[in-house]
Structure 1
Amino acid sequence: MTAASEAKGRTGGVQSIERAFGLLEAMADAGGTMGLSQLATASGLPLPTIHRLVRTLVDLGYLRQEPSRQYVLGPKLIKLGESSAHMLSLRARPHLARLVDELGESANMAMLDGDQIVYVAQVPSRHSMRMFTEVGRRVLPHCTAVGKALLAGLPPERARDLLQRNGMPRYTEHTITDPEEFTRQLEAAARNGYAIDDGEQELGVRCIAVAVPQAPTHLAISISGPVGRMTEPLLHQAIPLLTEVSRALSTDLH
């Protein structure tokens, strides 16, 4: 469904605001850079309408026009994003704390931000250990469980385009760099409802993640720890609990 058709399906809203935010969301989904014709295709809006909205967003600092005449998300969005991420973190922490209490390993929440994964919340394990992830850290999605869980929920062509823009650099001997093998992993994640990173971002670290259903943005939660503690029995215990917690978090965010 396009932004235009979604706007028609709602009542009581301000159409121009709905359309403007629809364009911003379309650009974020596409990696942050789009031209007018691409925005027209993504939104279903006529070019004159898009041009007026884009010029207003540029004047306000939420978009910037490049010399190539394409538009990119502007720096003014950073302040909004940081405040939103902070509120997400506060809402998520009790749910992540439950995972730590019941499973004993570090719990994380991450979101898809453009073409990257950014960790926005974390509750550390009680074990004395170096943290493998930290709030604010950005990673590519192909080598993380949270990335796989999120990409598994995207249309296949969008996930493919994202991978093509980023590439699939190798971080460890276990990093998946073959697009076909990665596609098979995404299909398995979509089928099973969870994704695993087995030393693909950092040697000796295993992570299991699930997407947060019907979240206001693309979110996933995970637990991670050393492979010696992230055993098969723990993973089997974690899957239903992660699923339950993700649903509770989704409810809390609405």
Structure 2
Amino acid sequence: MGAEASTGVKSVSRVFDLLELIADAGGDATLSQLAAAAGLPLPTIHRLLRTLVGHGYARQLANRRYALGPKLVRLGEVANRQFGLIAKVQLQGLVDRLGETANLATIDGDRVVYISQVPSPHAMRMFTEVGGRARLHSTGVGKAILAQLSDDEVRDIAARAGLPRATARSLGSIETLLADLAICRERGYAIDDEEQELGVRCFAMPVPDMPVLTAVSVSGPMSRVSEEFADLAIPMLRDAAADISAAASAA
């Protein structure tokens, strides 16, 4: 009985490892790629994938690569909503003190997904729909997330997703992106300076010690979100990031 339980637990662990490997590969991978990454025999990987496909948590594409399945979408949406609720108090505190829209976002494949938001009370304000996705390299939260990765990991993401320019100020090459991320790591926060939308500035801070790469931000029109605004906002973002991390650990 003990041996059977141990085998069962090991199989569950391998299934989760496979899902994470597919996600790390950008959303799809070949059987041989997964076997090499997992360090397991091809028949074992094939058996586990067949189980995942049968339950809708993976799917086999026409080119015989394996991708994440539709069942994960519902689980992810529910998890994101619950995760976003944890930060609501901290986001509201940022808005109350700074007057600008506050967001919480996580990485989702090669994109950033917004999982919680408290809007600014101003009539002219920034609004991003919760559940909305955006490019990692052209958003404040996205760059705060990328700054938590190695340069090689950033290069892999850029190779898969490309670096399209949303505005003339967007970072359009891997060299400029890596240089910007080096600055982000040194100072501890990221800036979207009209890179996603003209006339908009965003300050974003990584949230430490989270189960998935996460960032918190405040954004608004450049007329209000100035360098003087940054002097006030950055310490508050740092405190909010620490509080969100602590709340997530306690949940």
Q: Which residue of 2 aligns with 1:139?
A: 134
1:112 aligns with 2:115: no
Structure 1 segment 167-246 matched on structure 2, within 5 A: 167-246=162-241
The number of residue pairs the alignment matches comes to 243
Q: Which moved more, 1:111-120 or 1:27-36?
A: 27-36
Q: Is the 8 A contact 2:126 2:219 kept in 1?
A: no
Q: Is the 8 A contact 2:204 2:216 kept in 1?
A: yes
Residue by residue over 1:30-84, the C-alpha shift from the partner in whole angstroms, topping out at 9 and shown as x without a partner, is 2111112222333333333222211111111100011211100011111101110
Q: Which residue of 1 aligns with 2:3?
A: none
Once residues 161 and 223 of structure 1 are traced to their aligned partners in structure 2, the CA distance between those partners, rounded to angstroms, is 28
- Structure 1: unaligned runs, 5 residues or longer: 1-10
Once residues 125 and 44 of structure 1 are traced to their aligned partners in structure 2, the CA distance between those partners, rounded to angstroms, is 49
TM-score for the superposition, normalised by structure 2: 0.92
* Deviation, structure 1 residue 97: 0.8
Aligned amino acid, residue 209 of structure 2: Q
Once residues 167 and 99 of structure 2 are traced to their aligned partners in structure 1, the CA distance between those partners, rounded to angstroms, is 26
TM-score for the superposition, normalised by structure 1: 0.91
Once residues 218 and 148 of structure 1 are traced to their aligned partners in structure 2, the CA distance between those partners, rounded to angstroms, is 11
Residue by residue over 1:154-195, the C-alpha shift from the partner in whole angstroms, topping out at 9 and shown as x without a partner, is 122121111111111122111110210111011111222110
* Deviation, structure 1 residue 137: 1.6
Once residues 37 and 163 of structure 2 are traced to their aligned partners in structure 1, the CA distance between those partners, rounded to angstroms, is 26
1:69 aligns with 2:64: yes
Q: Which residue of 2 aligns with 1:60?
A: 55
Once residues 143 and 187 of structure 1 are traced to their aligned partners in structure 2, the CA distance between those partners, rounded to angstroms, is 15
Q: Is the 8 A contact 2:111 2:136 kept in 1?
A: yes
Q: Which residue of 1 aligns with 2:152?
A: 157
1:93 aligns with 2:88: yes
Q: Which residue of 1 aligns with 2:46?
A: 51
Moved over 4 A (4+): none
Q: Secondary structure at the match of 1:215?
A: coil
